Structure 1
Amino acid sequence: MSFFKKVLSSVGIGGAKVDTVLSQKSVRIGEDLEGVVNIVGGNVEQTISRIEVELKTEYLKEIDDSKVRCTANLLRLVVARDLVIAPNERKQIPFGFTVPKHTPVSMSRRNVWVETELEIPLALDPEDRDYIDVRPSRVMDVVLDAVINVLGFRLREVECEAGHLRGGHGEFTQEFEFVPQSAFRGKLDELEITFLPSDDGIMIYMQVDRRVRGLKSFLQEAAGLDESYLRVGISEYDASQGSNHVARMLEDVISRYC
């Protein structure tokens, strides 16, 4: 084994390569995601100290009056340690994990990915990134259907932003911004919703922005008092009753502040 090959391997030339293949590209929150890490040896024998599979996303954070995109780790899984791979050898390492409840939904774009990294001493660590489509949990699905298709709100924007709800996880929250089209048209300017998983369903945090009507409402808006912050729990049982049932629950709460 030549010294030249060793040097090249240490700077990432002719070293081991990694390619992760997922069992599916679309998965629902709370479901299992499986895959295989394929490793192909390079020009020299190498010891891989650790192979990690991570589930990651990104969120917006305001820094010095500018919004920058930051990366957050949702889950980290070590699938192998101290693995020796010979030149041109091929290895497959299967893995699987449950998509965490706090994973953001891919509503507007693919913002969640699986990243695989090989930790190799004295070498550039090879990595592989695979984007996945994350669908809402079944309870969230019913709530979104109730808001959009029953109450008639239009989804305007979905974004992950820096912030933390009590009882939440991590350094960001995913906000769903809706515009009323039918039931609350003329009463609300917008409705913002954030989901927080609970033991028996989800807790919904809502920001209700009332539309200006008359001098009193104008003065309230000018003073920033036209927004109300509400929360309502939707259990697995509530969701099992269907979108119309959940829509009535939400409508009852929102109507008190219009």
Structure 2
Amino acid sequence: MGLFRKILSSVGVGGAEVNTVLSQSTVRIGEDIQGVVNIIGGSVEQNINRVEVELKTEYTKEVDDRKERHTATLEKLIVGRDILVNPNEKKQIPFTFRVPDHTPISMNQRNVWVETELEIPLAIDPEDRDYVNIKPSHTMEVILDAMINVLGFRLREVECKSGYIIGGQGGFLQEFEFVPQSAFRGALDEVEITFLPDVEGINLFIQVDRRVRGFSSFIQEAVGLDESYIRLTITNYDASQGSSYVAQILENTINSYC
């Protein structure tokens, strides 16, 4: 019977279980995520080669006119090695790691999670997934507030998709698509912004899509000349001056491309 139980545990029956408990379900970019990995032994003694905790997200990639979903690892932490777990034994492993600057913010989406995996020889590795609500950094939050609540743009869509900007990480970009409601209404179709944080603030990569007005504008749209690409830096100092101050910087910049 003992050998039979060992064979069953090697294919995932009666083996160790893992359950990770996070100390918070909401965390801001740049802050720490803390938690505890709870391991419960199965029906037989098992050796765990490695315990990994990873922060992950999803993004889309267009392949042959269709969108494929891919997974990106934002942060990886090995919290234990060579752990012997006796039958029904309970072990706890605390961990802490920082949320990287390139982590996508959640915006009411379940798009970032903590995944825990136990690597067990000759067994199906147990896994656990816990979703986390990621809030923007303070500087990013001021920029979003300036766009939405001061300049009156409506945030139409937020998408993580395959792409690369020099200085970026992960092979994907989170793109914010805004539609003018008051300022710039009639002048612009949309504004798309991608955030790239650095030590002094945030670099904004802005795509301004001008509205077609007249035949010449129609020709420009047909050949792609109705779009302008802007790089703008909002420093942490700028953000400390408030949303209205940042909104003025954004408005002056966008105005010059209308």
Scaled by the length of structure 1, the TM-score of the pair is 0.99
Residue 245 of structure 1: aligned partner = 245
Q: Residue 215 of structure 1: CA displacement?
A: 1.4
Residue 113 of structure 1: aligned partner = 113
Q: Residue 73 of structure 1: CA displacement?
A: 0.3
State the one-letter code of the partner of 1:62: E
Residue 74 of structure 2: aligned partner = 74
SS at match of 2:132: strand
SS at match of 1:154: strand
Unmatched 5+ stretches in structure 2: none
Map residues 48-197 of structure 1 onto 2, 5 A cutoff.
48-197=48-197
- Contact 1:19-1:37 within 8 A present in 2 as well: yes
Residue 5 of structure 1: aligned partner = 5
In 1, distance between residues paired with 2:135 and 2:160? 15
Unmatched 5+ stretches in structure 1: none
Runs of 4+ in 1 over 6 A off after TM superposition: none
In 2, distance between residues paired with 1:65 and 1:211? 26
SS at match of 1:34: strand
Deviations 1:26-77 (A, max 9, x none): 0000011100000000000000000000000000001122101100000000
In 2, distance between residues paired with 1:244 and 1:250? 10
State the one-letter code of the partner of 1:177: E
Scaled by the length of structure 2, the TM-score of the pair is 0.99
In 2, distance between residues paired with 1:239 and 1:110? 27
Q: Give the stretch that moved more between structures: 73-82 or 61-70.
A: 61-70
Deviations 1:110-138 (A, max 9, x none): 10000000000000000000001000000
State the one-letter code of the partner of 1:66: R
Query: Between Structure 1 and Structure 2, how many residues are aligned?
Result: 258
In 1, distance between residues paired with 2:226 and 2:161? 22
In 2, distance between residues paired with 1:214 and 1:64? 35
Q: Residue 216 of structure 1: CA displacement?
A: 1.2
Residue 208 of structure 1: aligned partner = 208
In 1, distance between residues paired with 2:13 and 2:108? 38
What is the root-mean-square deviation in Å for CA atoms of aligned residues? 0.7
State the one-letter code of the partner of 1:25: S
Q: Residue 102 of structure 1: CA displacement?
A: 0.3
State the one-letter code of the partner of 1:33: I
In 2, distance between residues paired with 1:103 and 1:187? 33
In 1, distance between residues paired with 2:207 and 2:64? 26
In 2, distance between residues paired with 1:78 and 1:92? 14
In 1, distance between residues paired with 2:221 and 2:122? 60
In 1, distance between residues paired with 2:66 and 2:108? 22
Residue 230 of structure 1: aligned partner = 230
Residue 20 of structure 1: aligned partner = 20
In 2, distance between residues paired with 1:45 and 1:152? 61
